[in-house]
């Protein structure tokens, strides 16, 4: 499980062990650990900023947890569906995600679906919550990609860049692909450095997060604007990065993730332009920020979900009859004097 990765142009070499640590003989892999750390940081950011957009942090925890579980399931199912040949001979492999094999698009789509359903159940406004989720996605993706580095996967084709990387696993994988007769791999030299596409995507995602956290979150014009920016930003970067990769999930001659990235970028950009123009034309009456409404302010203050105290029930008691004034007692009659002694 130990391998080496080198960056000749930088004069760097790393010895990598996929196992972070073991507990009672059970191996905990860096891949899963880094994804978990990414999710934790994403959740922390969302909870710290929830009330700034009119979302109750306690209820958001339920939304995040359901979205997390659905996201992991969706990411795995997406990967398995488009790489079914790897799993059809041994279905037990489907459940072993420690080895890698989580597709980000499946995770985003399933996580959003589960989160939206729980938001409806918990009476959390969806669009403000999606703005928080957008920043969280970029944190999780930016950190999680380093799990690909430890696994020595998600790299690209040959490059002369100073950032080019190589190593035994890189050479072995590219040699296997080239010998399989895949058309696009015939021009690849397995012994030459390749693009560290995991690094490109990590830097792209973390840069997007900084733009959101330091600038856009404070300048939102309407709820959902940050999420649309995330969709366009990630789609743009992923479109070009995916074109460099040598392990893309394919649908015939089409790179699935690259096609989805293009659709995401075009759709989100068009919506950003259209909604921005309408907002400029119609002003605050069009898609007002939820946090600026009385209800949003009540959520931020923590009073919106509080139950009103039950009204006190007053049981009318019959009016007490005033006591009848007692008649003054007549003084006792003086006893008749006894016959006087003669």
Model confidence over 126-169: pLDDT tens digits?
999 999 999 999 999 999 999 999 999 989 999 999 999 999 99
Give a three-class secondary structure readout of the chain: CEEEEEECCCCEEEEEECEEEEECCEEEEHHHHHHHHHHHHHHHHHHHHHHHCCCCHHHHHHHHHHHHHHHHHHHHHHHHHHCHHHHCCCHHHHHCHHHCCCCHHHHHHHHHHHHHHHHHHCCCCHHHHHHHHHHHHHHHHHHHHHHHHHHCCCCECECCCCCCEECHHHHHHHHHHHHCCCHHHCCCCCCCCECCHHHHHHHHHHHHHHHHHHCHHHCCCCCCHHHHHHHHHHHHHHHHHHCCECCCCEECCEEHHHHHHHHHHHHHHHHHHHHHHHHHHHHHHCCCCHHHCHHHHHHHHCCCCCCCCCCCCCCCCCCCCCCCCCCCCCCCCCCCCCCCCC
The pTM (predicted TM-score) of the whole model is 0.83
Say what the pLDDT of residue 337 is: 46
Total count of residues recorded for the chain: 342
Rounded CA-CA distance 233/227 in Å is: 10
Taking the CA atoms of 225, 228, 234 and 237 in sequence, report the sign of the dihedral they define.
Answer: negative
Say what the pLDDT of residue 50 is: 94
Is 87 exposed, middle or buried, given 0-12, 13-18 or 19+ CB atoms closer than 10 A?
middle
Is 184 exposed, middle or buried, given 0-12, 13-18 or 19+ CB atoms closer than 10 A?
middle
Phi, psi values for residue 46, rounded to 5°: -65, -45
Say what the pLDDT of residue 306 is: 77
Say what the pLDDT of residue 90 is: 77
Say what the pLDDT of residue 87 is: 81
**181 Rama class: left (phi>0) / alpha (psi -120 to 50) / beta:** left
With a cut of 50, which residues of the chain have pLDDT below it? 335, 337-342
Q: How far is CA 169 from CA 151, 162, 166, in A?
A: 9, 20, 8
């Amino acid at each position: 499980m130990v391998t080496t990765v080198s960056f000749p142009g930088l004069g760097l070499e790393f010895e990598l062990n996929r196992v972070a640590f073991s507990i009672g003989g059970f191996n905990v892999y860096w891949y899963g650990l880094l994804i978990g750390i990414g999710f934790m940081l994403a959740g922390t950011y969302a909870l710290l900023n929830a009330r700034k957009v009119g979302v109750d942090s306690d209820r958001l925890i339920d939304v995040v947890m359901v979205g997390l579980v659905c996201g992991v399931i969706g990411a795995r199912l997406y990967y398995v569906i488009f790489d079914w040949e790897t799993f059809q001979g041994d279905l037990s492999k489907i459940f072993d995600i420690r080895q890698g094999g989580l597709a980000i698009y499946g995770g985003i789509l399933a996580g959003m679906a589960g989160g939206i359903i729980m938001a409806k159940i918990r009476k959390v406004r969806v669009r403000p919550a999606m703005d928080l989720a957008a920043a969280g996605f970029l944190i999780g993706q930016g950190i999680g990609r380093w799990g690909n580095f430890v696994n020595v996967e998600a790299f690209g084709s040959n490059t002369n860049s100073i950032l080019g990387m190589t190593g035994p696993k890189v050479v072995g994988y590219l040699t296997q692909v080239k010998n399989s007769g895949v058309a696009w791999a015939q021009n690849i030299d397995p012994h030459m450095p390749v693009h560290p596409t995991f690094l490109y995507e990590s830097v792209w995602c973390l840069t997007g997060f900084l733009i959101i956290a330091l600038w856009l979150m404070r300048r939102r014009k309407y709820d959902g604007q940050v999420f649309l920016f995330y969709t366009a930003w990630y789609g743009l970067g992923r479109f070009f990065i995916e074109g460099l990769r040598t392990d893309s999930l394919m649908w015939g001659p089409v790179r699935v993730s690259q096609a989805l990235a293009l659709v995401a970028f075009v759709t989100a950009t068009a919506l950003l332009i259209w909604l921005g123009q309408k907002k400029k034309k119609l002003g605050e009456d069009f898609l007002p920020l939820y946090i600026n409404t009385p209800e949003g302010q009540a959520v931020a203050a923590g009073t919106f979900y509080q139950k009103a105290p039950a009204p006190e029930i007053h049981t009318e008691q019959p009016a007490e009859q005033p006591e009848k004034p007692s008649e003054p007692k007549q003084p006792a009659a003086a006893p008749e004097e006894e016959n006087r002694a003669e």
